[in-house]
Structure 1
Amino acid sequence: MFSRMFGKPKVEPSTLSTLDKLNETLEMLEKKEKVLQKKIVIEIEKAKGYTRAKNKRAAIACLKRKKLYETQVEQLGNFQLRVHDQMIMLEGAKATTETVDALRSGANAMKAIHKATNIDDVDKTMDEINEQTENIKQIQEALSAPVGAAADFDEDELEAELEELEGAELEDQLLKPAITSATPSLQPVPSQRLPTPAPQKVRPPKSAEEEELAALQAEMAL
């Protein structure tokens, strides 16, 4: 309804398309300027030729056309300045717009991060981590606790037995040097050569009378 009454809404051209259009216009103006410069040079050469031919009227006509061309060149120069000015403004506006868009995107990203990382959620997450850590510690302690026969051992009795063993070991270490010093060192005794008995003279066997005499002496001695 509104489009029928007021017509279709105008579509604003984008900055890039406008810059492209301005570049095309600038190139067109530069080409026209070059053409006019060539025409000016031609008119000057013609005026010189007519001057040499003493044709003053034709030479003045060439100079008039040259003036017209120079006026157009000046206009084209003004047009080019306006186009350059417009391009500089659009490029600056484009840079400003892109900067604002980037800043706006950064602000939105920071808002999203702040919303996603609420301080309450962070505290809750840390509590969960601490709880899980404590659970793991309890599980490790339960797994490392002795079971079966090892669980019935009295730690105090084991400590007392260990102290007795340490005391006995210390006593052995203290007594060992004394026993060693009291015990004489057994050194090998040099062997002594025994004197060789002198050879006995072999007596001849006794006669019967000598045997009777020896027996009688023995009885008398008794």
Structure 2
Amino acid sequence: MFSRLFGKPKEEPNTLSTLDKLNETLEMLEKKEKVLQRKIATEIEKARDFTKAKNKRAAIQCLKRKKLYEVQVEQLGNFQLRIHDQMIMLEGAKATTETVDALRSGAIAMKAIQKATNIDDVDKTMDEINEQTENMKQIQEALSTPIGAAADIDEDELEAELEDLEHAELEERLLQPSTTQLPPVSVPAYSRPTQVPAQRTAPQKSAEDDELAELQAEMAL
């Protein structure tokens, strides 16, 4: 009933629809401006023709119409500036609104998380984790503890024995003479000596020959 009497309530336009409407209006104004620019050029051309024809009155009328068109072009330019200004403001308001909505959504989500997460539950969970960690540490220590014969080995005795071995090795190194390794001497290669034929030696005298010569010497005396 109220809708029939007063009509339907006007729906508030949202930012997107308003921006679309402003864009359409801006395009319409730009088209009108182009038409007026063409009319201005036509009037200037007519005024030149009338001036050449010595028709001063007609030329003045053309210039008057040109002036009127120029006034309309200036008005359209102001309208376009107003629309551009309005679009910039709406786009800024839209960005601000979206930012606020995003922040509000984040605050609601954080509140829901905090409500779902109880601080007592968090403390209980951390205590359980620490307890499990300590139990695992004890298990690992128990598994790494030596058993049997290995448990009877004295670590201090092994350390002392190791020190004795190290001292003995050090003394052995000090007692060894320091020998310097000489570089290998390169022997020049030489050719194999040729075989020299053996010279004939005079035959050696025997003992009988010596006795004979001695006897001859006595007889001669």
User: Could you tell me the percent identity over the aligned residues?
Assistant: 84
Equivalent residue for 1:25? 25
The offset of 1:127, in angstroms, is: 3.8
Equivalent residue for 1:200? none
The offset of 1:6, in angstroms, is: 3.7
After TM superposition, list the pairs within 5 Å mapping 1:55-204 onto structure 2.
Answer: 55-129=55-129
Q: Whole-Å Cα distance in 2 between the matches of residues 127 and 95 of structure 1?
A: 46
Q: Whole-Å Cα distance in 2 between the matches of residues 45 and 103 of structure 1?
A: 61
**Counterpart AA for 1:94:** K
Q: 1:116 to 1:16 in 2, by over 3 A?
A: same
Q: Deviations over 1:30-55 (max 9, x none)?
A: 11111111110110110111011111
Task: Find the structure with the greater CA-based Rg.
Answer: 1
Question: Structure 1: which 5+ residue stretches go unaligned?
Answer: 145-157, 164-222
Equivalent residue for 1:211? none
The offset of 1:121, in angstroms, is: 1.8
**Counterpart AA for 2:63:** L
**Counterpart AA for 1:41:** A
**Counterpart AA for 1:8:** K
**Counterpart AA for 2:11:** V
Q: Whole-Å Cα distance in 2 between the matches of residues 6 and 120 of structure 1?
A: 59
1:39 aligns with 2:35: no
Moved more, 1-10 or 116-125: 1-10
Equivalent residue for 2:205? none
**Counterpart AA for 2:79:** F
Q: Whole-Å Cα distance in 1 between the matches of residues 90 and 10 of structure 2?
A: 19
The offset of 1:9, in angstroms, is: 2.2
Q: Deviations over 1:122-154 (max 9, x none)?
A: 12323444566678889x69xx8xxxxxxxxxx
Q: Whole-Å Cα distance in 1 between the matches of residues 75 and 115 of structure 2?
A: 59
**Counterpart AA for 1:54:** K
**Counterpart AA for 1:9:** P
The offset of 1:14, in angstroms, is: 1.8
Q: Whole-Å Cα distance in 2 between the matches of residues 25 and 7 of structure 1?
A: 27
Q: Secondary structure at the match of 2:112?
A: helix
How many corresponding residue pairs? 149
